[in-house]
Structure 1
Amino acid sequence: MADVKVLVLVGSLRAASLNRQLAEVASETAPAGVSLQLFDRLGELPFYNEDVDGDNVDEVVQALRLAAAEADAALVVTPEYNGSIPGVLKNAIDWLSRPYGAGALNGKPLAVIGTALGQYGGVWAHDETRKSFGVAGPKVVEDVKLSLPAGIFDGKHPRENADVVQQVREVVEKLTAEVG
C-alpha cells in the first residue's frame, strides 16, 4: 500500500480525554505506510457562518480544510455530549462541508469511533456523526464501528488494554483499505 494519510478529528477538547487517548492508540498502532495526523485546533474554529465563508476565511478554517484536502481518509474519535455530537465536532463538519458538494473530504473514506460514559459508549453520538458527515460528503465506512463504554478503562490509558488496542488497529486497517 502506498503511504496513506489519515486526518484525525477528536470531538473532545479536554487534554486528558479518553477519546484523545484512543486517537493516540490509533496513531501508535497504525500499519506500516499509514500516518495519522491529528488536527488539534477544533476549539479555535469560529462558528460556521455562510456570510464569512469564502476566500478570506480565518486561518484556522484554512488550516482545517488544507489538512482535510491533504488526507486520504479521516478518523473521527468522539464522546457523546447530551446524547449527541459535541458542538466543536458539528462545527467542524459544517466548515468541512463547504463549498457544498466539493468539501475537502468529499468522497474520502471516514470512520467514527470513540468512548463515552454511558453503557453504550456513545453510540448515539457516533451514529449522528456518521449521518452528518454522510450528508457533508465523505464516504462513511459503515461497517467500522467501535463505541466503548468508558468504564472498561478503569482509569488507565486505552493502550493498556490489549483488546482495545487490537480493535482500534483493525479500525484503522479497515478505514485505510477503503482508500482508492
Structure 2
Amino acid sequence: MKIAGISGSLRAHSMHRGILRTVAGHLTKLDIEFVEVDISEFPLYDQDLNAKGIPRAVQKAHDQLQSADAIVLASPEYNYSISGVLKNAIDWFSRVEDQAFNGKAVSIMGASPGMGTARSQYHLRQILVFMNAFVVNKPEVMIAQAADKFDKEGNLTDQRTIDFLERALSSLISLSKQLKS
C-alpha cells in the first residue's frame, strides 16, 4: 500500500508538515510507503495557462497522487476556509485527465491554536465531493490548542494526539481497502 500526503501550508516548520511527518513515521512502522506531495511550485490556476498544457510541477504531483492508494490532506484554516495553496492545487488536479482523487479514500487533518480547523474541513469535504473522493468520516482530526501539542520545529509531540492520529490512519487504510474490494 502507498499513501500520499499534501500539506496546505508551505512553511518548512508548519504544524501541518509536522502532521505529515507523524503520518510518515507511523506508516513506516506498518510497512506502508508514504510520499509527501510538493505543491509549492504550482502556478496560480489560470484557464489560459491550462490551455497550454498541465505544468510540469502539477503533473509530477498528480502522478504521485495517482500512484497512491489513499491520500492525507493536512491543512490549516485560513479565514474560515482552506488555504489558498491547497485550493489552488486541487483546482489544478481537477483539470488533469483521469484526476487522481477519483474513487480514493482521503483523510483530512488539521491543527490550529483555536477550534482545530472545523470550518476549513467542512469546505474541503464539499470540494472533495466534486473530486469524487471518499472522505474518512470518523475520526475527524481537528487538533485544537495546537501550540501546546507541537514543538517549535512543527513536530507533533503530544502522545494522546499521536495515538488519535494513528486511529485515523487505521480508518483511512480500512476505507481504502474497502474501496478496492
TM-score tier (shorter): 0.7 to 0.9
The TM-score, its normalising length taken from structure 1, stands at: 0.88
Distance 2:170 2:79 in 1: 30
Distance 1:48 1:93 in 2: 10
2:31 aligned with 1:36: no
Aligned partners of 2:103 and 2:132 also within 8 Å: yes
Query: What pairs up with 1:6-25 in 2 under 5 angstroms?
Result: 6-25=3-22
User: Quick one: which amino acid aligns to residue 105 of structure 1?
Assistant: F
2:172 aligned with 1:175: yes
Query: What is the CA distance between 1:52 and its match in structure 2?
Result: 2.9
Aligned residue for 1:51, secondary structure, equals helix
Query: What is the CA distance between 1:158 and its match in structure 2?
Result: 4.7
Cα shift readout 1:3-24 (whole Å, capped 9, x = no counterpart): x111100001111111111111
Aligned partners of 1:122 and 1:147 also within 8 Å: yes
Cα shift readout 1:33-83 (whole Å, capped 9, x = no counterpart): 32221012x121112223333673211011111011111110000111111
Cα shift readout 1:120-143 (whole Å, capped 9, x = no counterpart): 111111111121122222112222
Distance 1:166 1:93 in 2: 29
Distance 1:45 1:140 in 2: 24
User: Quick one: which amino acid aligns to residue 133 of structure 1?
Assistant: L
2:139 to 135, 144, 163: 144
The TM-score, its normalising length taken from structure 2, stands at: 0.87
User: Quick one: which amino acid aligns to residue 29 of structure 1?
Assistant: H
Question: Paired residue for 1:128?
Answer: 123
Distance 1:43 1:63 in 2: 12
Unaligned runs of 5+ in 2: none
**Residues 55 and 173 (structure 1), Cα distance of their counterparts in 2 relative to 1, 3 Å cut:** farther
Aligned partners of 1:10 and 1:78 also within 8 Å: yes
What RMSD in Å do the two structures reach over aligned CA positions?
Answer: 1.9
Aligned sequence identity (%)? 28
Distance 2:49 2:93 in 1: 14
Aligned partners of 2:15 and 2:150 also within 8 Å: no
Aligned partners of 2:3 and 2:35 also within 8 Å: yes
Distance 1:55 1:130 in 2: 30
1:107 to 103, 112, 115: 103
Unaligned runs of 5+ in 1: none
2:46 to 41, 45, 49: 49
